[in-house]
Each structure stands twice: as C-alpha cells, then as structure tokens.
A = this chain, B = another copy of it.
C-alpha cells in the first residue's frame, strides 16, 4: 500500500484513568469495544492503528498485484476498487464509505487482486495484517470480527451477480448508499455521492447512458430528485420495494 505525502501518525488516544477513548470512526476499535475486551488488549489493538492520509482525488491506495500487507478502515471520503480487463475496460468492484474496510480480498494470495483509488480526499485507519492476525490469536473476539468481515464481503459480492433490471440495480444502489450514510449518522434521504455516472454504470454493469436515463425516469416518477452529485430520495418506500430482490429482503 502506498502512503501519501500527508502525515502518518500512530493512533492518538487519551487514557485518562478508567476511561479509554477510541477513534469512533475506526471499525476495528469499535468492534473490539463491543466485544468487551480488557484494557490491556484494547491498548494493544490501538497501538497497531496508523492514521494515514489525506489521499487526494485520483490517488491510488493500492494497486493490483501490490504485495498484501495491510487492511484499512476508511475514516473519511470514498474509495473505489476496480480491476481492468484485457481490453483495458474498467470493472468497478465496490465503493467504500467511512467505517468500511478495504484490502481484505488481498489475504488469499498475498497480493491485492484489485486497485483502490480515492474518489475524493480520503483518510484511512491502517492496520498491518500480520500484526492484527497475530493479535487475533490472543483475542477471539477480534478473530471473530475478522471472520465476520470477510464472510460479509462474500455475501456482498454475490449481490449484484444476479440478473436484475437496470431499475432494480439502480434502486438497490441508492438504497444501499442511503443506509450506509444513515449508519454513519448522515441523512438517509439526501447525500452527495463521490462517483461519476460512469463509475456507477461500471459498478452496476450498465452503460452510463442507462444510468442517466434511469435517473431521469426515477425523477419524472417522483422517486427522487437529482442534480449532478446531489441526490435526494423522495420515495424511499418505493425504491426499497424496487431494490428488494437485489438486496434479498
């Protein structure tokens, strides 16, 4: 993983007596908080965290084939992962919002199988994977959390594999974004997306023209209001109804 010219610091924390404060945007820290480990273990985990960034728009975090050594939780910004096929066409694999973890797919072969790029200014919490795996042998809760993250990604990857219509895909994409923003305390109804129409189209396996058309039709039907990157979901009910096959509900 490449480190931007910004600062790299070990995780700042305060340890004022009994209370032990975590960076709340860090998925691992919070995972461990919830599994109720003792202070000594928590501190060990905490020491492994490096805050890196900012990566600026278009800057790569890792590239396909880079040796795998770290995973990272997004602290702020949006990360896109993608591969390019033999003809040079881009296939977007996923978008990662704050609180989500990138790099896990690199474990199996010791190399990242895809590229990760910042779509806007990005800050990361970075963890050495060997170190965190070693710590996991002493912290069953952490091991379990890692297993769960990996397993979840298997299920996520299967989502868009079905043969769904353009409408279903778009609705599922919007509902998923909405929920993920909401989970971070942001509005579930209105948000700014960091990706271009082309990125969205590549992710959903549609042509960018189709993305445009579906946006307009959804707007005509009163499901949403869209102005460039600014999206407001007006009829979340109906969007969820459209998305339910894709999201398996």
Contact = CB atoms under 8 A, between A and B. Distances in A.
A144 B150 contact: no
Chain A at the B interface: SS class: helix
A186 B107 CA distance: 29
Copies of this chain, count:
2
Contacts of A205: 161-163
A222 to B, nearest CB: 24
Contact of A108 (B104, B108, B134, B155): B155
A162 B93 CA distance: 9
B161 A157 contact: yes
Contacts of A146: 147
Interface residues of A, number: 41
A161 B153 CA distance: 14
Contacts of A6: none
Nearest to A106: B151
22 contacts: A85-B162, A86-B244, A86-B245, A93-B158, A105-B154, A105-B158, A107-B151, A108-B149, A108-B154, A113-B155, A133-B144, A134-B140, A136-B137, A137-B137, A137-B143, A147-B147, A150-B150, A157-B158, A157-B161, A161-B161, A162-B205, A163-B205
Query: Lowest 4 CB-CB distances: which A-B pairs, in order?
Result: A157-B157, A107-B151, A150-B150, A108-B151
Interface of A: 83, 85-87, 91, 93, 104-109, 113, 133-134, 136-138, 140, 143-144, 146-155, 157-158, 160-163, 205, 244-245, 248
Given A108-B148, A157-B158, A161-B205, 19 more contacts: A83-B248, A85-B245, A87-B245, A104-B151, A105-B151, A105-B155, A106-B151, A107-B147, A107-B151, A108-B152, A113-B155, A133-B143, A133-B147, A134-B140, A137-B138, A147-B147, A150-B154, A157-B161, A163-B205
